[in-house]
Chains A and B, each alone.
Chain A
Amino acid sequence: MPNLNPKSWPLAIKLSLTITAVVTAVGFMIGAVMVVQDWTRAHEVLGEKALLLSESVAITAPKAIVRKDFWSLYLGLKNLRSGSNEIISAMILDVEGRVQAHTHPAKNPMGLRFSPENELEMDLYGQAMGARKPVVFSSGGFDRAGFQEAVIPIFADQKYLGVVRVRLSVARLYEKAKTSALIVLALVLCFVIIGSALGTLVSRHMVKPLTAVTQGLEAVGRGEMTDFSPISIKGKDEIGRLSVTFNQIMVELAEKKMLEEEVAMSEKLVALGRITAGVAHEVNNPLAGLLNCIDTLRKHPNDKALFDRYLPVIDQGLHRIKEIVHNLLVGLRIEEGDEMVGIDHIDKLRDLIKAEIADRDIKVVWENQADRNLSISGKLEQIVYNLLRNAVEVLADGGVIHCRMYQKGSYLTIEVEDNGPGISAAIRNQLFDPFFTTKSNGTGLGLWVVYRLTQNLEGIIEVESEEGQGTTFHVSVPVAKAKAA
């Protein structure tokens, strides 16, 4: 379906439509003026013709009226008719308004008073009888049935004898005017078509660089900048200057993008280095201890006490390495496997965390307002578990953990709030870095995993924290994603 809102039409179309509209309006106005002028002039000419015809009758009429030679008067009017087929009616009336001759004798008997058919005729009759000078009456308007009527009073030796009325039909003028109106209309249409075509061409030509700029900017919006080809510059007007500027901007943007990509690449390398260093460091530390323990045990193979002391240490060290490797795997291979689970799985975390709290004095407040039928990614479960464990680890006795879940729009938001020591501003931007930890025995991978999983779910994670007041993590993930399956 085409876009019906003119505001979003391309400039080229709007421009050419405007040109077309202007051309049409001007064409029609000129045409209308021509037709109206032609009509008016033809009317005047017809009026003059009626006057001439009346005059020709009025010249010979007095003698015939005086001598009551009605037949000559009648033949005179008849001759007018044979000379002009535009005559609707012609009549000669005497002082009293009695018909002396009429082109329609059957309806207007000679010798009787002329009887007008309607009010308009009555009015015209009154005016005609009152006329002492030649006048032309016009029916006015653009009407096929219109007429021009000439009225000439008849005088003989300054004595008023009556009046000649000759009425001519505008029907022929009307047909002519209609024909010329049609011709003008056709011309205007040709004009409009040619004008629109030219207008379209011109506006296309003018708007072409703008279209290129727009397309270029749209490509920038989509992040495509590699296949940018500079706009050809045609002229030094505003559009030309815009094109130049746009080309410069595009070149700069492309350079910037390249730079950004380089930076991103080096950042990736840095991160990789940090992870590698972290892994090396975190794994190396227990490994050194473990190797020492094993060395000592090998030297004293029969010292039972040493075994009892070192084996738990070895066990602990290996578990720590296992945890680190596990977390790394979770954090790095998050793309793999995304099973959907019911929202109630999250509620089970409550018991799990309570088990972790064991007999410490930490309170857990649980509010789940999300739709009970919602299914969520298993990854979300991992996210919440990590956040809860973090909270438990930072809290001292008397701590409170709030876990809230609710839906807002198409997002499911989970908030984990604690009233612990908070995070100092100095380290806030390192919070999600791998191997960054403030805890003596932390791996520094818990929040990194949370961050990676949230990213993977196309969610948003936010931290609100004030030193000494506590910390709140907000995780919002799209429900559509969570709901899938």
Chain B
Amino acid sequence: MSLNVCLKSARLICLFLALAMTPGFAVAADAPIRFGLTAVVVTENLRFLDQWSDYLAAKMDREVELVLRKSYREVMDLLNSGAVDFAWICGFPYVQKRDPETVQLLTVPVYRGAPRYHSYIIVPHNSPYKRFSDLKGKIFAFSDPDSNSGFLYPLDLMVAREERPESYFRQTFFTFNHAETVQAVSEQFADGGAVDSYIWEYLASYRPDMTEKTRIIKKSPSFGFPPIVARSGLDQVTVELMKNTLENMSRDSAGQSLLSQLKLDGFGDYSDSLFNDIRAMANRVQIDDANFQVQLAE
């Protein structure tokens, strides 16, 4: 019996030695870097995602795999479980308290000169609604229950009016995609919706037919742009490599071309305090998801 144990131990030691003897970078090079995303801008730009992963792979000399999920929550789960190493998430999930903390801020996209964006409250272009309060009792489209611009901000507006968010609108639903929120409003399926200003502006240049059918009735104060995060515990070499690669994208033409497709200026190093406004909002608004019929993983 003890022999058996010994044999097993010996095998384990051999395995450990084999791993230890292999150079560190070689181990990392074997496993691809997994990068979690929800829809970047719109779901259909898969070709862009291929170009981007190729670019990152070339720069980092590592295989990069982009992992697409429907909701931020799913991406967060992937991060928490270590199934992805990096992720592009929203400021809201970023500021949510986790114990232990599973993510670290990597870099923040720079949009129109600053790492900031807004939330737009939009209505159909021909609708009579002029203010957010006009939408009371109507149908409202949220983007993602973990979206700052598409959920937290309108909720905060209701809380500020001392209204009960769950009964403020007649009907609410989640599109899990800012572009689809614009679609829902433009097709008058919803009387109003909350969207990411970055996505709305992006659509305004690529799909003006959609945004022309919507009208912005409220623009939020600026918030920290949805950041790129790394999972806690990821080796610092990879973290630094990814951070540098992203932040240097604006320095070469291939990177610039990709950034221009994303309508971003680049990625920059910013402190966590950029997200204090979102953090404050998240603290004000206590969300009970069950009241919003949140529909997650299909």
Contacts and interface: CB of A to CB of B under 8 A. Distances in A.
Given A105-B188, A111-B139, A67 B295 contact: yes
Interface in A95-126: 101, 105-106, 109-111
Contact of B188 (A69, A75, A106): A106
A74 B190 CA distance: 11
B180 interface: yes
Interface string A64-89: 00011111101100000000000000
A109 B293 CA distance: 19
Interface string B221-247: 000000000000000000000000000
B173 A70 contact: yes
Contacts of A75: 180
A110 B295 contact: no
Interface in B92-112: none
B188 A68 contact: no
B174 interface: yes
Contacts, number: 38
Contacts of B184: 71, 74
A71 B139 contact: no
A119 B293 CA distance: 36
A72 B295 CA distance: 10
B173 A69 contact: yes
Contacts of B173: 68-71
Interface of B: 124, 139, 141, 170-171, 173-175, 180, 184, 187-191, 293, 295
Contacts of B189: 70-71, 74, 101, 105, 110
A69 B188 CA distance: 17
A50 to B, nearest CB: 22
Nearest to B294: A67
Q: Tell me which of A68, A70, A75, A101 has the highest count of chain B C-beta atoms within 10 A of its own C-beta.
A: A70
Given A74-B184, A74-B189, A105-B189, A111 B295 contact: no
30 contacts: A67-B293, A67-B295, A68-B173, A68-B293, A69-B173, A69-B293, A69-B295, A70-B171, A70-B173, A71-B141, A71-B173, A71-B180, A71-B189, A72-B295, A74-B184, A74-B189, A75-B180, A101-B189, A105-B187, A105-B188, A105-B189, A105-B190, A106-B124, A106-B187, A106-B188, A109-B191, A110-B171, A111-B139, A111-B170, A111-B171
Contact of B139 (A67, A69, A72, A109): A109
B136 to A, nearest CB: 14
B174 A71 contact: yes
